[in-house]
Amino acid sequence: MRHFLRTAVRPDPAAMPSVVFLGGLLAIGAVGSPNFATTGNIANVLTNVTPLLLVATGQTFVIACRGLDLSVGSTATLVATLVATAYPVVGWPAVALGFVAALGVGLFNGFGVRAGLNPFLVTLASLSIVQGVVFTYRTSPGGKVPEELAAVAGLVGPVPVALPIVVLVAGLAAVILRWRAVGSAILATGGDPMVARLSGIRVGRSQLVAFLISASAAGLAGLFLAARTRTGDPLIGQPLTLDSIAAVVLGGSILSGGRVT
């Protein structure tokens, strides 16, 4: 078990082809377009991928404990539309309301999986439920977000405001998975739930924590989407689900759980 926990989070040679491929694409883009490597374009790319980076970070925890969270896209949509719809009525508490709603989705998923249900089925159900709820109050883009929140999608000089946030979230995730007991428990749960349980690890709690982290990351992504578009779009988060799973796998993590990079 000690050896497993020491090696569960480490650079994986399996990720190198993805890194080389990405590097090749960047090199081709830089050679083929004189505007590709400009500061403005790089800042624009970083801003556009921020929601995916946040959601993929949360998805990593769920995949690490041998699960999948299919509800991340609809959760991000829920937060974005809820904030944009409620802000003109209640003001800044709309932001807290959106984040609480995201945690509610995480609790639903976590307790469902903790009860022994298949993560795929639980999160597929929550995806449908959440998206249905969104359509009850927002069928087309609309609403309004605070100017202060919209500024998060802006720039300070050439640097995206969101960049330090993404770095902080990713760094915190790495610390949790590498050096905190909760991260070790999540990885052990994904490696072999039975062995983890016999070792004294509370498998159900680890699964619940993983889904709460995933929902929180999706909530942050939803806030950023609302900030970037300055409105609430009921379809804006849909691409994030499959994209986040692909990002985690291309990064070298394995869908069978227990190892992330």
Encoded tokens for 41:
């374009």
Mean pLDDT of the chain: 90
Higher per-residue pLDDT: 211 or 28 = 211
Q: Which residues pair with 155 in a beta bridge?
A: 160
Rounded CA separation 116/10 (Å): 30
* Type of residue at 111: F
Residue 15: band (very low, low, confident or very high) from pLDDT cuts 50, 70, 90: low
Apex 75 CA angle, 118 and 87, nearest 5: 155
Rounded CA separation 22/218 (Å): 25
Instruction: Render pLDDT for 21-57 as a digit per residue (tens, 0 to 9).
Output: 767 776 787 777 777 778 888 888 889 999 999 999 9
Instruction: Render pLDDT for 59-78 as a digit per residue (tens, 0 to 9).
Output: 999 999 999 999 999 999 99
Strand 159-160 and strand 155-156: pairing?
antiparallel
